[in-house]
C-alpha cells in the first residue's frame, strides 16, 4: 500500500520491547503509589477474592467487637451500681444497729435517715441505665445479649436483676420501715439488710465474672481481626523495596531499548547512505 511504513525486524522488536517495558513501569508505579500488588480482580482474580473474604470477615468481626465493648460498658455500669448500693445498704445497717440503743428524738432522727437511704437506693438503681438498658432495676424480663460471631450462635446472655427496695419485700427484700418502734422490728430490718448484702455480693460476683469473660472475648476478637487483616495484606500488599528496585531496573531497560531502537534506525540510515 502506498505510504505504508515498513519497519525492520530489529526496529519492530525494539518497539515491542519498549511497549512491554512501559506497561511494566506503569504497573510498578501503580503498586508504589497504592501500596498494593493486587488492587482489583483484573490483577489476580483468585488472590483478590481470597483477600476480600478475609477483609469482609475482619469487618464483620469489628462490628462484633464494638458490640462486645458496649456490652462491657453495660455490665460495668450495673457492677458500679451494685457496689454503690452495697455501700448504702451497709450505711443503713449501721443506722439500724445504732437504733437498737437509741431513744426519743435520736430514734426519730435515725428512722428518718434510714428512710432517706432507702429512697437514695431506689434513685441510684433507677439511674443506672446504659443505652436504654437497666440491668439492676428489672425482674429479669430485660437482658443483655452480646453476640460474638456471625458464623456461630455463640453469645452471652445476662439477665437483669431487681435491686429496688420497697414494700412487700420486692427487689432486695428491704421492706418499708417508717419507724423503729421496737427491738423486734429493728432486728427484722437488720436481718433484711444482711440478706441484701449477701444478694449484692452474689450479683457483684456474677457481673464481675461476665465482665472478665467479655474482656477476654474482646481481646481475642481484636487479635483475630488483626490476623484476618494481616492475611489479606500478605496476599495483596506490594513489597515497596522490591517494587522500587524493579522500577529502577525497568527504567534502565527502557533506556537501553530506546538506545537499541536508535541504533537500529541509524543502521538503516547507514545502508541508505550507500546508495547515494
The more confident residue out of 96 and 20 is 96
* CATH (domain of 208): 1.20.1330.10
Q: Is residue 196 part of a domain?
A: yes
Q: What is the pTM of this model?
A: 0.72
Q: Crossing angle of helices 41-99/183-236, nearest 10°? A: 170
Cell 435517715, residue located: 113
Average pLDDT rounded to a whole number, residues 255-262: 65
Are 96 and 186 within 8 A, CB to CB?
Answer: yes
What value does the CA radius of gyration of the chain take, rounded to a whole number of Å? Answer: 39
For residues 201 and 252, state if they share a domain. Answer: no
For residues 78 and 160, state if they share a domain. Answer: yes
The overall average pLDDT reported for the chain is 80
For residues 71 and 176, state if they share a domain. Answer: yes
For residues 93 and 73, state if they share a domain. Answer: yes
Q: 28 pLDDT exceeds 70?
A: no
Q: Is residue 25 part of a domain?
A: yes
Q: Residues with Cβ < 8 Å from 164, sequence gap 6 or more?
A: 121, 122, 125, 126, 137, 170, 171, 172
For residues 135 and 91, state if they share a domain. Answer: yes
The more confident residue out of 174 and 145 is 145
Are 163 and 203 within 8 A, CB to CB?
Answer: yes
Q: Is residue 41 part of a domain?
A: no
- Please give the tally of structural domains in the chain: 2
The more confident residue out of 6 and 111 is 111
Q: 155 pLDDT exceeds 80?
A: yes
For 164-196, what is each residue's pLDDT tens digit?
Answer: 887 554 577 776 555 576 667 888 889 889 999
For residues 176 and 251, state if they share a domain. Answer: no
DSSP code at position 140: S
The more confident residue out of 16 and 200 is 200
Q: 144 pLDDT exceeds 90?
A: yes
pLDDT at 275: 52
pLDDT at 202: 94
Q: Is residue 52 part of a domain?
A: no
pLDDT at 169: 47
For 49-77, what is each residue's pLDDT tens digit?
Answer: 888 999 999 998 999 999 999 999 999 99
pLDDT at 248: 67
- The domain of 93 spans 61-236
Q: 47 pLDDT exceeds 90?
A: no
pLDDT at 107: 87
Q: What percent of the chain has a predicted confidence (pLDDT) above 90?
A: 38
For residues 149 and 247, state if they share a domain. Answer: no
For residues 87 and 194, state if they share a domain. Answer: yes
The β-bridge partners of 257 are: none
For 81-133, what is each residue's pLDDT tens digit?
Answer: 999 999 999 999 999 999 888 888 898 899 889 989 989 999 999 999 999 89
pLDDT at 1: 47
Are 74 and 131 within 8 A, CB to CB?
Answer: yes
pLDDT at 150: 80
For residues 85 and 222, state if they share a domain. Answer: yes
Q: Residues with Cβ < 8 Å from 90, sequence gap 6 or more?
A: 193, 197
For residues 69 and 200, state if they share a domain. Answer: yes
Q: Residues with Cβ < 8 Å from 178, sequence gap 6 or more?
A: 111, 115
For residues 67 and 183, state if they share a domain. Answer: yes
Give the distance from CA 150 to its chain's centroid: 14
- Confidence band of 207 (pLDDT split at 50, 70, 90): very high
Compute how many other C-beta atoms are within 10 angstroms of the C-beta atom of residue 78: 30
Q: Residues with Cβ < 8 Å from 212, sequence gap 6 or more?
A: none
Amino acid at each position: 500500500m502506498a505510504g505504508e511504513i515498513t519497519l525492520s525486524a530489529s526496529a519492530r522488536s525494539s518497539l515491542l520491547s519498549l511497549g512491554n517495558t512501559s506497561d511494566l513501569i506503569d504497573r510498578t508505579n501503580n503498586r508504589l503509589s497504592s501500596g498494593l500488588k493486587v488492587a482489583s480482580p483484573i490483577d489476580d482474580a483468585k488472590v483478590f477474592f481470597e483477600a476480600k473474604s478475609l477483609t469482609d470477615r475482619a469487618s464483620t468481626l469489628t462490628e462484633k467487637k464494638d458490640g462486645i465493648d458496649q456490652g462491657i460498658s453495660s455490665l460495668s455500669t450495673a457492677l458500679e451500681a451494685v457496689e454503690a448500693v452495697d455501700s448504702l445498704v451497709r450505711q443503713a445497717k449501721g443506722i439500724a444497729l445504732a437504733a437498737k440503743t437509741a431513744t426519743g428524738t435520736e430514734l426519730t432522727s435515725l428512722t428518718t435517715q434510714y428512710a432517706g437511704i432507702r429512697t437514695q437506693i431506689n434513685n441510684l438503681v433507677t439511674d443506672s441505665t446504659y443505652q436504654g438498658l437497666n440491668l439492676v432495676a428489672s425482674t429479669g424480663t430485660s437482658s443483655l445479649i452480646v453476640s460474638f460471631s456471625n458464623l456461630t450462635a455463640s453469645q452471652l446472655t445476662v439477665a437483669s436483676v431487681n435491686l429496688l427496695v420497697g414494700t412487700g419485700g420486692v427487689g432486695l427484700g428491704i421492706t418499708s420501715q417508717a419507724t423503729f418502734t421496737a427491738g423486734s422490728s429493728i432486728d427484722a430490718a437488720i436481718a433484711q439488710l444482711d440478706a441484701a448484702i449477701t444478694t449484692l455480693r452474689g450479683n457483684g460476683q456474677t457481673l464481675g465474672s461476665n465482665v472478665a469473660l467479655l474482656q477476654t472475648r474482646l481481646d481475642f476478637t481484636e487479635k483475630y481481626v488483626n490476623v484476618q487483616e494481616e492475611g489479606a495484606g500478605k496476599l495483596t500488599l506490594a513489597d515497596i523495596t522490591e517494587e522500587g528496585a524493579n522500577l529502577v531496573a525497568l527504567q534502565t531497560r527502557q533506556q537501553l531499548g530506546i538506545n537499541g531502537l536508535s541504533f537500529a534506525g541509524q543502521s538503516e540510515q547507514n545502508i541508505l547512505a550507500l546508495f547515494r
